[in-house]
Structures are given as structure tokens and as C-alpha cells.
Amino acid sequence: MKKVIKKSKKYVFTKEEIGEFKPVSFQAHRRELMKDPEFLKAYKKLEPEYALIRAIIESRIKKNISQKILAKRLGTGQSAVSRLESGTYNPTFKFAQKLAKALETDLTITFSK
């Protein structure tokens, strides 16, 4: 029995529907977004999370450790490390301790005002 393959219909948008494409650099777009007080507040709220992610990535790269090798040291899969580094996984304190050990570094937590 033959499989029936349906061809999807493609819709082509006109310039009138979507406007003209004007490339904008990320930096320029970010500057515009930062002028919005609500955006700026949300951005600042997320900064500690992104600082942790940056620290993990920088430590891993500095030690020349791939996601795959780090995952092996953690006893997990590479996709879990990828999720962690992309910000889609919120690690527990225990996991952070295990991560510090796998990266051969100290875990330091500071509260400041």
C-alpha cells in the first residue's frame, strides 16, 4: 500500500501585509528595549540567573571541558547541561554543589544590597 504524501500550501506575504524589512543590530534593539521601564525592571530581575549561567559556561570553557564531558562527570546527559546553560533548567542547591565539584571549583554564594 502506497503512502499518500500531502503537499502543504505555502502562503506568501506581501510587503503591504508585513512592511519592509529593515535589519537592526541586537545592540540597537536592546538599547531601545532598555528605555522601557517595565522591560528594564524584568531584565534586572533576571540578571542573577544569567550571571550564574555565564559563570558556569565561563568556568567550563576556561577548563576546556565540553558539555559532554561535564555531563559525564555529573552522571547526566549532555542535553541536561545544555538545558542548564540555556536557562531552561533551574538547578537545586545540591545540583549546584555537584556542578562546582565537577568543574573543580568552589561554590560561593553572596547576598548583597
pLDDT greater than 70 at residue 103: yes
Which position has the grid cell 537592526?
24
| Cα separation, 53 vs 46, whole angstroms | 11
Kindly state the average pLDDT of the residues 62-81: 96
pLDDT at position 39, please? 95
What residue spans define the domains of the chain?
67-113
Compute the distance between CA of residue 23 and CA of residue 79 in angstroms, rounded to an integer: 32
pLDDT tens per residue, range 8-60: 678 888 888 888 888 999 999 999 999 999 999 999 999 989 999 999 999 99
